[in-house]
Structure 1
Amino acid sequence: MLRRFTPVLLTLVVVALGVTALAARPDSSPPRRTADYVVLAGVAGLRWSDVDPQSTPTLWRMAQQGSIGSLSTRSAHRPTCPVDGWLTLGAGSYAGWNGSRQPGGCPPAAVTVEQPDGIGANLPDQERVVAYNADRQPWGTVPGSLSESVRCSVAVGPGAAVAAARPFGRVDRYAPALPADPSGLLGSCVLSIVDLGTVSGTDPADRRADARRADEALAKVLAARPPRSLVLVAGVSDTEAPARLHVVVADGPGWEHGWLTSASTGREGYLQLVDLAPTALTALGRPMPERLFLGRPAVKVDGRPDDLAGAIAAPADADREAAAQRAVAGWFFGLLAAAQIVLAVAVLPLLRRARRLAGPHSPPPVSPRIVATVELLLIAVALAVPAALLADAVPWWRGGHAGVYFAVVTVALIVGATALVRFTPGHDRTLGPLGAVAGLATLVVGADVLSGARLQLNGVVGYSALEGGRFSGLGTVGLGVFLAGSLLSAGWLAQRVRRQWRPMVVVAVGGLAVVVVGSPYLGADSIGAIALTAGVAVAAAISTGGWLTVSRLVWATMAGLALTIGFAVVDLRRPVEERGALGRFLTALGEGTGGLTVHRASTANFQTLVNSPLTVLAVVGVLLVWFALLQPWGGLMRLFGIYPAIRAALAGTALASVIAGLLGGSALDVAGAAGALVVPMAALASLRVLDHSTDRTQPGTGQPRPDGPGGGPSGGAPTGGRPDDDGGAARPGDGTGTTAVPDGGGTTGSGDDDGDGGPAAGTRPAGRSATRVPVARTAAPEVSTGTGATAGRPGVGTG
C-alpha cells in the first residue's frame, strides 16, 4: 500500500514546493500619483560616459538630486535607431519604423511633420507605421498609446512628434524647437515630450559638444517646468551599432537620491525604454491603456551612494561590460563547441578499445596515460561554463584587451577546478568525477543566484542588459547548467542509498532546485521551474530502475500540470499590471489575443535555433550520445543498467531542458548548456564502465589482479573486496560459487538486483577479500548462467 501511494505523495511534495516558491512575490505594487505634470526629455545616444560636471552641469545637478539608472533601449529593430526609440517611447511596447535601414547602422531620420493649423501637427506616415507594427511585428504594439491615454500632450522637436503622435497621426500641440520661454507650452498639457537633440560619433570631443548642446536645452526645460512636475531625461536610442546602455534620470517629488528600477527588470539601477510610458501615466494617476504596455512603472530604490561620481561609475562600468560581453561571448561558445567536437571524435576510438575482447585479434588496450589525459580534458570541458561564470567576478572588461583577459582568467579557473575534481576523494570510482563536476556546477550557479545573480548580469555566459529580455535571476545558460547539475547530483546521491529511498532523495534535491529556479526572489523563472518539475518527477519515477511505464509517466505529467495550474491560479489572482508571463498569456487567451504570444515564442525559437552557437552544442551532444554512447560498444547502456539513478537523472535533464527551451523561446539553448555539462561526464563514466566490463571476482583469495595494482588498464579501482561505486561492498551473490561483479556496480545472485550495493542474501562477511581474474570473453552479448544469476544481468555465476 505504501509503495502504491508513494508516487502520489512525491507528486504532492514537488507541487507544494513549486507553488510555494512561485506564489511568494516581492511587493512590487506601483507608486501612487506623485505629479500633476510629466515632462519626458529625450537625447538620442546619450550615455553615462558623456555626463560630467563640466560638459553637462545641468544634467549633473539633476542626477545629484534625483534618481538615476541605466536604460536599455530595446525596440523592434536592432540597433534601436532614434526614430525607433521615439516610437517605442510613445508606444510603451517594442516598436519599429517601417522605413529602410542600413546594415549595422541608422539611416538619417526622414520624418515628415506637417503643421496645418500652427497649433498641432500631423504625421502623414503614422497610419502606415501603425499597420507595419500590427502586421509585421509580433508584439501587438500600437504607436501613440501613451498620448491616447491622456487628453492633451505637447511635443517639441521631430523626435518628440513621433512619440506624441496619436495612432491616426495627430499631435495635439507641437513646436519645432524650444521657444525662448517654454513655460506656457509645457504647462498647457499634463504630458510634454521634448527632443533635446542627439549625441553621436566616436570622437570624444564631438560627443562632448553634442552633450553640451543637449544640456543647454535641458536647462531651459528645467527653468520652465510646471509646478509639482516629474521630469524624466533619457537616452532614448542608439545612433550606430553596436547597442549600448544609456542615461535615465528622474527628478520630482518622491524621486530624490535613489536608484531607478521596475518590475520588468527586477534589478536596481536598470530600466527599459518601454518602462517610461507606464511610469508617466502612473505618476499622473492615469489608467493604463486597454492593451497593456510591455513595460512596468519605474520605482525609486534607496541605497545610492552620496558621491554622484561614484554612483555614476557603476552604470558606466555596466555599459562597458555589456559592450565587451557581446564580443567575447561569441568566440567563447564557438571555441567550446569546437572543443566538444574534437573530444567527441577523440573519445570514439577509446570507447571501441576500452572493452577488452577474447581471442588473439582483440585490439591492445589504450595507454593509461592517454585515457587519463582524455578524462581530464572531458572534466575541463564540462567545467568551462561554470568557470566562465566565475570569471565575471574579475573586472576583465576594463582592460584594453578584454577578450585576452577573460581567456586568461577562465583558463586559470578551469585548471583549478579540474585539479580540484581530480584530487577529490573517490575520483577513481566510476561515478566519482560525475558527482564532483555536477556538485561543483550546481554550487557555482546556485551561489550566484542566492547572492543576486550578479555574475550573470552582462556576463559572458549570462544575459545582457542590452538585449532587454532578462535583467535578474537565472539566464538561459545558467538554467541549463543548473538543471543538469542539480539532477545529476540528485541521481549521484540517490545511487548511494537503498533502492526504496532513491525517489525521496531525487525529490528532496530536485524540490530545492525547483524553489531556487522558480522563486521570484532567486531564479525568477516560472517556466524553468515548471520544466524542472517535470524532469524531477520523471527522474524520481525511474530512479529505482525499470522503464518509464504509463503509470509513471502519468504521475510525472500530473506533477508538471499541477504546478502549472497552481501557479496560474495564483498569478491570475494578482492585479493585471502585476501578473507574470503565465498570467499574461492566460489573460490574452481569454481576450482572444493569445496568438501574439505564441507567435513571439515561435519566432524567438526559430531565430535562436538558427543563430545560437548553443544549438551546435546540443546537436553535437545528441550525435555523440545516439551514434556512439548508446551503441552496444558505447558503454552508456551498461552504465544505465548498473546505475539506474544516473539513467533517471539524464532522462530528467533531457526532458526539463527541452521543455524549458521551447516554452521559454530559447529553442535548444537550454539543452545546449545542459549538454555541455552532461555529455562529457556521460562519456567519461561510459569509458570507466567499459574499462571494468571484464572484471571478475572470486571470494576468499585476496590476490591482486594480473593486470596491475590499479585494477585495470586505466588505473581503476583496487582488487577484489574494494567498496563499490555506490558505497557498498562488492558481494559474491548468494555465496554458492563464483559471481560476476561488474565494476562494483552490483552483483548477481539471489540478492538485490539493482546494483546499488545494498545488502543481499548470502553477502560475504566483512573483511573477506576477493580477486578479479580475467575471463575469456566474446563480443556476443553477455549471458548469466547458474543458480545465482539474475536474468538480464551481465556476468557469469556458478552454483
Structure 2
Amino acid sequence: MLRRLAPLLLTLLAVVLGVTALAAEPDGASRRPDADFVVIVGVPGLRWDDVDPETTPTLWRMAENGSIGSLSARSARRPTCPVDGWLTLGAGNFAAWNTNRPAGTCPDVDVEVEQPDGFGANLPEQEAVVLHNQERLAWGAVPGALAESVRCTVAVGPGAAVAAARPFGRVDRYAPTLPADPAPLLGSCVLSIVDLGTVSGEDQATRDVAARRADADLARVLAARPPRSLVLVAGVSDTAQPSRLHVAVADGPGWERGWLTSASTGRDGYLQLADLAPTALTVLGRPLPERNFIGRAATPVDDRPTDLRAAVDVPTDADREASAQGRVARWFFVLLAAFQVLLAVAVLPLLRRARRHAGPVGPTPVPRFVVGTVEVLLVAAALAIPAALVADLVPWWRGQHAGWHFAVVTVLLLVGVTTLVRFAPGHDRTLGPLGAVAGLTTLAVGADVLTGARLQLNGVVGYSALEGGRYAGLGTVGLGAFLAGVLLTAGWLAQRVGRRWRPTVVVAMGTAAVVVVGSPYFGSDSVGAIALTAGVTVAAVICTGGWLTLNRLAWATMTGLAATIGLGLLDLRRPAADRGSLGRFLAALGEGRAGLTVHRSSGANFDTLVGSPLTVIAVVGAVLVWFALFQPWGGLMRLFGIYPAMRAVMAGTAVAAVIGGLLGGSALDVAGAAGALVVPMAVLASLRVLDHAADRTQPPGNRPQDFVTGTRSPEDGDADDAVPGNPPAAGEGRTAGETAGPEEATDRVSRTSTEVATA
C-alpha cells in the first residue's frame, strides 16, 4: 500500500512546496512618496530618441533629477491614437473613443469641447463614450473615473479635456492653451492635466521641431508648478503604426534618480499608460476605485546608472528592440510552422519503412544516410525555440537589417547546439537525443527566468512590452518550451532508475519547475504553475506503468485542485494591488465582475487560435501523432510500451500545455510551443524503436527464466517489468552495430507469451 501511495504522497508534497513558494512576494518598493499636487503633462508620440540635451534641455534636466521609464501606451484599440490615449489616462483602464477611423491611421484629437461659462468646459459626447466602453468593450473602463476620485481637476488643451472630463462630460477648470502665467490655474486644483501637443512623423527634423516646442512649454509648467508637487511627463499615445514605447518621467520629492515601475508590469523601468491615474491618486492620498482601475500605482526604484546618457540609452534601446521584435517574430513563427509541417510530411514514408524485418522478405530499408539526415533535422526543429531565445544575447535589433541579423545568429546557434547533440555521449541510444534536447531546452529557458527573464522581454520568442500583456517572468512560448523540456527531462531520468523511484524523480523535477514558473521572484505565472502541477501529477501517477485509470485520474484531479485552491486563497489574502491573475479573478468572481474576465479570456483565446502560427504547429503535431505515430506502423505505442515513463511525461505535457493555454488566454500557443519540442523527439525515438523491432538478443541476468531460478527478483529495479504482459522499461535501446537492449527483446508488441516461455 505504501508503494502505491508513494506517487500521490510525493505529488502532494510538491503541491505544498509549490504553493509555499508561490505565496512569497518580493519586497515592495521602498519609496512611496506623497505630494500635495499632481501635474500630468501629456505629449502624444514622444519617444526617448526625441530626448537629448540640445533638443529638449528642460526634459533632459527633469529626467536627470527624477525617475524615468519606458511607457507602454496601450488602450482598448491598437494602435493607441491620441484620443484613445487621453481617454485611457482618465479611465485608469484600457479605453477607446467611439469613432471609426481608417485601419492603421491615427488622426489628431478632434473632440468637441464646449465652454458655456468660460470657466470650465463640457464634452457633449462623453456619455456616449462611457456607454460604448461599458457595453461594447471587454475591459469595463469608466472614462472619467480619475476626475471622479478628486474634488476638482484642471485641463489645458483638448486632449487634457478628454482625460479630465467626468463621466457626464464636465471639466471643472479648462483652458484651451497654456496661459502666459499658468501658476494660478495649476494651483487651483490638486490634479492638473496639460496637453503640450503631438510629436509625430518619421522625419527626425520634423519631430525635433515639435519636441522643442513641447519642451519650451514644459519649462513654463515647471516654473509655475505648485509647491510639493509631482510632475509626470508621458508620451500618452502612438501617432502611427507600428506602436512604440514612449517617454515616462516623474519629478518631485522622493522621485530622485530612479527607475519607474509598477505592480502591473513587475519590471524596473517599465510603466503602463493605465498606471498614471492610480499613481496620481496614490500620491495625493486618495482611495482608488478598484472596480474601475486596471492600472497600479507607479513607484521609483534604485539602481539607475549615474550617467544620464547611459540611463536614457536603456529605454531607447528597448524601444528599438520592441519595434523590431514584432516584425521578426511573425516571420520566425511562420517559417517554424512551415518547417514543422514539411518535416511531418517527410517522416511519414520513413515511419512506414523504418521497421526492420527479421526474415529475408520485407521492404527495402531506408539508407542510413537519409535516416541520419532526418534525425538531425528533427533535432534542429526541436531546438529552434531555445536557439531563438538565446539569440537575444546578441543585439541583433540595432542594425539596419534586424531580421537578417537575427536569422544569422539563430542559425549559427542552431547549428552549434545540433552538432553538440549529435556528438554528445549517448547519442546512439534510443532516448539519447531526446534527453539532450530536453535538457538543453530546460537549461536555456530556466536560466533566463532565474536571471530575470531578460531574454523573454521583447524577445522574438518572448513577449513584447508593446502588447502590454506581460512585462516580466515567463511568457507563453517560454512556458510551453519549459514545461515540455522539464517533463521530458524528468521522464528521461526516471527511465534510468528503478520503477519504485520514478515518481520521486518526476515529482522532484516537477516541484522545482513549479516554483520557477509560479514564484513571483521568477516566472510570475500562477496559471502556468497550476497547469504544470496538473501535468506533473498525471505523469507521476502513471510513470511506473499502466494506464490513467479513473482512480489515478481522480487523485491527479484532486491534487491539481488542491494546488489551485491553495494558491487562490493565499493570493486573495494579499493586498488588492499585489494580487496575481488568479487572485484578481477570484475577487472579481466574489464581486460579480468575473464575466468581463471570462469575456476577455474567451476573446483572447479566439483571436490567438485563428491568428497564431503556433496553432498550426499544435494541430499538425496532434494529427501526426494520432494518425501516424499511434498506428501499428508508427512506433509510438511501441515506444510507450518499452519506456512507460516517456508515455507518462508526454501525457503530462499534453495536459499541462492545454490547461496553460486555455486558462491563460493563449489558446493553443502553449501547446504549439511544447509540440515544437515533443513531436520531433517522439518521431525520432519512434524511428529508433522501429529500427530494433526485430532484435531478439537478451543479456544474461534479465531473462524471464532468471526469475524462476532466483537469479533476480521483481524488486531488483526494473526487473519486474519483464513479467509477461508488462515489458521492461529500464535500459536504453541501441542503434545498429550494438547488442540489442533488454527492452527490445521483451517488448510486448513483438513477443508473445509463448516466446517468453520458450526463452
CA offsets per residue over residues 735-774 of structure 1, 9 Å max, x none?
599xxxxxxx98986589442338xxxxxxxxxx97899x
CA distance in structure 1 between the partners assigned to 2:250 and 2:741 by the alignment: 76
1:642-657 correspondence runs (5 A): 642-657=642-657
The corresponding residue for 1:784 is: 752
Contact 2:37 2:284 in 1 (8 A): yes
Does 1:445 pair with 2:445? Answer: yes
Deviations 1:218-256 (A, max 9, x none): 011000000000000000000000000000000000000
CA distance in 1, matches of 2:119, 2:377: 72
User: Residues 648-700 of structure 1, C-alpha deviation per residue, up to 9 Å, x if partnerless?
Assistant: 000000000000000000000000000000000000000000000001116xx
Aligned equivalents of 2:350, 2:315: Cα separation in 1 = 50
Superposed CA deviations along residues 161-213 of structure 1, whole A, max 9, x for unmatched, are: 00001000000110000000000000000000000110000101000000000
Partner of 1:755: 728
TM-score after normalising by structure 2: 0.95
Return the offset for 1:7: 4.0
Distance in 1 (CA, whole Å) between partners of 2:275 and 2:681 is 44
- Give the deviation of 1:26 after TM superposition: 1.0
Query: Is the Cα–Cα contact under 8 Å of residues 29 and 578 in structure 1 kept in the other structure?
Result: no
Secondary structure of the residue aligned to 2:648 is helix
Asked if residue 228 in structure 1 is aligned to residue 196 in structure 2, the reply is no
* Residues 733 and 747, structure 1, Cα contact 8 Å, conserved in 2: no
Aligned to 1:731: 702
TM-score by length of 1: 0.90
The residue aligned with 1:637 is 637
Question: How is 1:527-542 mapped onto 2 (pairs within 5 angstroms)?
Answer: 527-542=527-542
Provide the C-alpha distance between the structure 1 equivalents of 2:397 and 2:302, rounded to a whole number of angstroms.
28
Aligned to 1:171: 171
What is the CA distance between 1:436 and its match in structure 2? Answer: 0.4
Preserved CA contact (<8 Å) 1:97 1:129: yes
Larger Rg: 1
Q: 1:339 to 1:213 in 2, by over 3 A?
A: same
Whole-angstrom CA distance in 1 between matches of 2:707 and 2:252? 88
Q: Is the 8 A contact 2:43 2:198 kept in 1?
A: yes
1:8 CA displacement: 3.9
Check whether the contact 2:722–2:728 (CA below 8 A) recurs between aligned residues: no
Counterparts of 2:137 and 2:57, CA distance in 1: 40
Deviations 1:109-149 (A, max 9, x none): 22000001011100011011101111111111100110000
Aligned to 2:34: 34
Residues in 1 aligned to 2:488 and 2:730: alpha-carbon distance in whole angstroms: 19
SS of match in other structure, 1:481? helix
**Which amino acid is the alignment partner of residue 598 of structure 2?**
V
Residue in structure 1 matched with residue 79 of structure 2 by the alignment:
79
Tell me if the contact between 2:382 and 2:677 (Cα under 8 Å) persists in the aligned partners.
yes
Partner residue in 2 for 1:298: 298
CA contact (8 A) 2:638 2:749 kept: no
Q: Deviations over 1:313-340 (max 9, x none)?
A: 0100000000110010011011101110
**Residue 592 in structure 1 maps to residue 560 in structure 2:** no
- Within-5 A mapping of 1:291-690: 291-357=291-357, 362-690=362-690
Contact 1:571 1:583 in 2 (8 A): yes
Counterpart for residue 763 of structure 1 = none
Q: Distance in 2 between matches of 1:473 and 1:561?
A: 24
Q: Judge conservation of contact 2:31–2:300 (CA < 8 Å) in 1.
A: no
d(CA) in 1 for partners of 2:740 and 2:267? 61
Shift of 1:577: 2.1
Count the aligned residue pairs. Answer: 742
Whole-Å separation in 2 of the counterparts to 1:88 and 1:292:
11
Measure, in 2, the Cα distance between the counterparts of 1:549 and 1:480. 26
Question: Aligned letter for 1:757?
Answer: A
User: Is the counterpart of residue 53 in structure 1 residue 53 in structure 2?
Assistant: yes
Q: Deviations over 1:60-111 (max 9, x none)?
A: 1000100000000010000000000000000000001111111111134220
Aligned-partner Cα distance in 2 for 1:649–1:296? 39
Q: Which amino acid aligns with 2:653?
A: T
CA contact (8 A) 2:140 2:292 kept: no
**TM-superposed deviation, 1:592:** 1.0
For residues 367 and 283 of structure 1, do their structure 2 counterparts lie closer, same or farther at Cα, with a shift above 3 Å needed?
Answer: same
Aligned mates of 2:543, 2:522 — CA distance in 1: 28
Assess if the C-alpha contact under 8 Å between 1:17 and 1:514 holds in 2: no
In 1, Cα distance between equivalents of 2:689 and 2:701: 15
Maintained 8 Å contact 1:30/1:282: no
* 8 Å contact from structure 1 (residues 733, 748) kept in 2: no
Residue 278 (structure 2) aligns with? 278
How far apart are the structure 2 equivalents of 1:30 and 1:141?
30
Supply the distance in 2 between the matched residues of 1:405 and 1:80 (Cα, whole angstroms): 29
Contact 1:32 1:285 in 2 (8 A): no
The 8 Å contact of residues 38 and 231 in structure 1, kept in 2 or not, is answered as: yes
The answer to whether the 8 A contact 2:67-2:259 is kept is yes
CA distance in 1, matches of 2:33, 2:260: 17
Structure 1 unaligned runs (5+)? 699-720, 722-728, 738-744, 759-768, 790-796
1:191 aligns with 191
Question: Is the alpha carbon distance of 1:455 and 1:500 closer, same or farther for their aligned partners in structure 2, counting shifts above 3 Å?
Answer: same
Structure 2 residue runs without a partner (length 5+)? 709-717, 732-737
Q: Which moved more, 1:369-378 or 1:355-364?
A: 355-364
Residues 10-25 of structure 1: pairs in structure 2 closer than 5 A: 10-25=10-25
- Kindly tell me: are residues 217 and 169 of structure 1, through their superposed partners in 2, closer, same or farther at Cα, counting changes over 3 Å? same
- Asked whether the equivalents of residues 47 and 247 of structure 1 are also in contact (C-alpha less than 8 Å), the reply is yes
Tell me the CA shift for residue 568 of structure 1.
1.2
Deviations 1:424-457 (A, max 9, x none): 1110000000000000000000000011000110
1:358 Cα offset (Å):
6.2
Bigger drift between 595-604 and 579-588 goes to 579-588
Paired residues for 1:709-748 under 5 Å: 721=699, 731-735=702-706
CA contact (8 A) 1:351 1:634 kept: yes
Between 349-358 and 591-600, the greater mean CA deviation after superposition: 349-358
Amino acid at match of 2:590: G
2:734 aligns with none
Residues 563-591 of structure 1: CA deviation (Å, up to 9, x unaligned): 11111111111122222211111111111
What corresponds to 1:107 in structure 2?
Answer: 107
2 CA distance for matches of 1:499 and 1:424? Answer: 26
Report SS of the residue matched to 1:198. coil
- Tell me which protein shows more helix as a share of its residues: 2
Distance 1:746 1:364, change over 3 A: farther
Residues 749, 651 of structure 1: alpha-carbon distance in 2 compared, 3 angstrom cutoff: closer
Question: What residue number does 1:712 align with?
Answer: none
Aligned-partner residue type, residue 328 of structure 1: V
2:750 is equivalent to residue 798 of structure 1? no
Q: CA deviation at 1:520?
A: 0.2
Describe the SS at the equivalent of 1:44. Answer: coil
**Secondary structure at the residue paired with 2:197?**
strand
SS in 1 for 2:705: coil
CA RMSD in angstroms, aligned pairs only? 2.2
Secondary structure of 1:392's partner?
helix
- Aligned AA (1:665): G
For 2:503 and 2:386, locate their aligned partners in 1 and report how far apart those are by CA, in whole Å.
Answer: 28
1:385 alignment partner AA: I
1:334-356 superposed Cα distances (whole Å, 9 cap, x missing partner): 11011101111111111000113
2:198 and 2:210 in contact (8 A); partners too: yes
Cα pair distance change 1:448/1:772, threshold 3 Å: closer
CA displacement at 1:782 relative to structure 2: 4.1
Kindly provide the amino acid, as one letter, of the partner of residue 146 in structure 2: L
Q: Deviations over 1:396-422 (max 9, x none)?
A: 000111111100000000000001111
